[in-house]
């Protein structure tokens, strides 16, 4: 068994012989127990627990197969007023939503008594990718950053659409606890988009 440094030696007698003045034995320096445990943990990978992930953000993702070409699906993203859910708007009606499919374009909502910018387009590649930056819904007041991407890839006669939404911010908000709720909302929106493209109706 390997010796822990500072815990003595093997194979050498440091005691004085009878009648002969021998060298004084150096005092044994003992390591504190916490340090010993730390050394043992480092020597045995997998035994130590992994550090907790700080609750300063989350990533949600959802992919669907849509029976239409990437160009058709991309164009449908811009018709957000026809497939987004009324329940997830500030005005109570998705008809008040607009989404301009170009860099700098706004995902905005305007109604008689107010308006809101939900997100801003930062990348627009027709038939391939649409990316927006914004904190959707109640995330807006938490001053977080959010990156929402719609990636499109041709598969056979259809399209694989993958939505990802990455959110990060102050850990004291416990953002990781919101992942489930936000994820279910975004998944439902993608499914509504799929139905709208394939049938003309989101429900």
29 domain-assigned: no
Where is pLDDT greater, at 1 or 126? Answer: 126
pLDDT exceeds 90 at position 18 = no
Note down the domain range covering 120: 57-199
Burial tier of 95 (Cβ tally within 10 Å: 0-12, 13-18, 19+): middle
Residue 75 domain-assigned (yes or no)? yes
The DSSP element (H or E) to which 133 belongs, if any, is strand 129-133
Task: Confirm whether 49 is domain-assigned.
Answer: no
Q: For residue 76, is it within any domain?
A: yes
Give the count of domains, the chain.
1
For residue 180, what are its two tokens?
């489930």
Let me know if residue 13 belongs to a domain: no
CATH code, 104? 3.30.530.20
Model pLDDT for residues 145-187, shown as the tens digit of each residue: 999 999 999 999 999 999 999 999 988 888 888 999 999 999 9
For the entire predicted model, the pTM comes to 0.73
Local structure of residue 20 (DSSP, 8 states): S
Reported as a single tens digit per residue, the pLDDT across 59-98 is 999 999 999 999 999 999 999 999 999 999 999 999 999 9
Tell me the C-alpha distance between 128 and 106, whole Å: 19
**Residue 37 covered by a domain:** no
pLDDT per residue as tens digits for the range 97-123 = 999 999 999 999 999 999 999 999 999
Q: Cβ neighbours of residue 41 under 8 Å, at least 6 residues apart?
A: 47, 48
């Amino acid at each position: 068994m390997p010796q822990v440094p500072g815990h003595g030696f093997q194979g050498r007698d440091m005691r004085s012989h009878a009648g002969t003045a021998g060298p004084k034995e150096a005092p044994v320096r003992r390591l504190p127990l916490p340090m010993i445990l730390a050394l043992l943990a480092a020597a045995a990978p997998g035994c130590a627990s992994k550090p907790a992930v700080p609750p300063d953000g989350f990533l949600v993702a959802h992919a669907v197969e849509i029976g239409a070409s990437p160009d058709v699906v991309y164009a449908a993203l811009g018709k957000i007023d026809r497939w987004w859910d009324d329940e997830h708007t500030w005005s109570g009606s998705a008809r008040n939503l607009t989404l301009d499919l170009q860099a700098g374009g706004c995902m905005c909502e305007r109604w008689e008594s107010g308006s809101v910018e939900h997100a801003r387009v930062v990348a627009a590649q027709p038939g391939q990718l649409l990316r927006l930056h914004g904190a959707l819904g109640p995330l807006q007041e938490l001053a977080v950053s959010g990156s929402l991407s719609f990636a499109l890839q041709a598969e056979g006669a259809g399209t694989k659409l993958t939505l990802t939404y990455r959110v990060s911010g102050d850990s004291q908000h416990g953002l990781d606890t919101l992942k489930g709720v936000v994820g279910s909302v975004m998944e439902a929106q993608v499914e509504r988009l799929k139905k709208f493209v394939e049938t003309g109706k989101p429900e």
